[in-house]
Every structure is written in structure tokens, then in C-alpha cells.
Amino acid sequence: MPATATTTPEAPSPLAAMPAVTVPMTAFVPDRLAHYFCGRFTGAFTKRAFLFPGDHAFTPLVRAFLDTCVAEHGADHRSVFALLGLELAKNAIDHTRSGGPENTYRLLVERTRTHTLLTCYDDGDPGPRDWFGHRPLAAVAPDPMAERGRGLALVDALSSRWGDSGRTAFRSVWFRLDHTR
């Protein structure tokens, strides 16, 4: 009997190759929270929060959330609120652990008769976690030739007030937009 070489078949990939597909953003929204994303005034509320995946692909969902939260206000207020809110979301994805695989950040909108407050809670600075680290953010004048680095300067210029927790482990950054009715 001739000798035959035995080969061990390679272990199959845990996940077979699949074609790219487009999934509707609504698939990521629980039915009980669908009114958070409809783009129109859905009644009075004081607080509304949602946990978003740390991926730029979800920007349309973030925008729908922000637009719906201030739908009863004028176009200028809605535009500024969305611009600044998207900036905080982008910073959470680009500059914190929230932008890592399967990580998240949380947006909390609080409304009063005089203002709208948005707080973005992220997973903190990348790298080794420093539970007691404190490094407040600062809005610095951007280099006019730089392609990046204008986000917090925009928040500083367009919001009524803004700030952050300063914690490096789990940061929260907020801005307030005053409004008149």
C-alpha cells in the first residue's frame, strides 16, 4: 500500500465570508423608542437618552435623534444643536475608547423652558485606563491651515455654555443652547 500524505484541513473561519448589505437604521432602534427618531415634535419631555454604537456609520441615526429632540424649535436652533451634537459624537468615536469595536457612547438630552442641554458620555481616553486621571478639555483656536481640530472651538463659539467632567476614564462633555419660545 503506497504511503499517502495526510493533510489536516484548515479550520473553518468562525464566520464565513458574506456579501455587504445595507441594513435600515431603524433595525437598531427598539420599537418602544422609535419616536426618538421620527424627526417631528412628539410631545413634551424633559430627558431623553440613547446608547449609540461607536461607529461613524450611525451618524444618520444620531442626526435623527438630535433633530427629533428639538423638533419644536426654529431651524437655526435645530441646525446648531445638530451640528454641536454631531461634533460631540464624532469626538467620542475618534478620540476615546467609545470608537473601538463594539463600544458605545451615550447622548442625553435635557430640556427646560429656557434651554436644551446635551451631554455625551464616552468610555474615556484610549490607552491604559487611569481611574483617577483628570484632564479637562479646552477649546483652542485652530490652526487656519489644519484640516481637523475645530470641533471644541465650534462648541465654544456657538453654545451658550459648555464643559466637561475632566475625568479621563469615563468622560462626559456637555453643551447648553439657550432658546426663547
Tens digits of per-residue pLDDT, 81-125?
A: 999 999 999 999 999 999 988 999 999 999 999 999 999 999 988
Strands (E), 5-121: 47-53, 104-111, 115-121
Q: How far apart are CA 155 and CA 137, in angstroms?
A: 12
Task: Give dist(CA 144, CA 140) in Å, integer.
Answer: 12
Query: What does pLDDT average to over the chain?
Result: 86
Instruction: Give, in degrees to the nearest 5, the angle at Cα 149 between 145 and 151.
Output: 130
pLDDT of 9 reads 56
What's the CA gap between 26 and 37, in Å, rounded? 9
Sorted by sequence, the CB contacts under 8 Å of residue 81 that are 6+ apart come out as 66, 69, 70, 73, 116, 118, 177
Model pTM?
0.81
**Using one digit for the tens of pLDDT, what is the confidence trace for 43-89?**
888 999 999 999 999 999 999 999 999 999 999 999 999 999 999 99
Whole-number Cα distances in Å, 95 to 32, 52, 113: 31, 16, 33
pLDDT band (50, 70, 90) for residue 4? low
Indicate the domain borders of the chain.
42-178
Reduced to 3 states, what is the DSSP secondary structure of residue 173?
A: strand
Tens of pLDDT, residues 156-171: 999 999 999 988 889 9
The least confident of 26-40, 54-68, 103-117, 128-142 is 128-142
Q: Is the pLDDT of residue 146 over 90?
A: no
Q: What helix, strand, coil percent values describe the chain, rounded to 5?
A: 30, 20, 50
Backbone φ and ψ of 142, nearest 5°: -75, 155
Fold of 42-178: Heat Shock Protein 90 (3.30.565)
Q: Cβ-count burial of 34 within 10 angstroms (0-12 exposed, 13-18 middle, 19+ buried)?
A: exposed
Name the one residue in this structure whose C-alpha cell is 442626526.
63
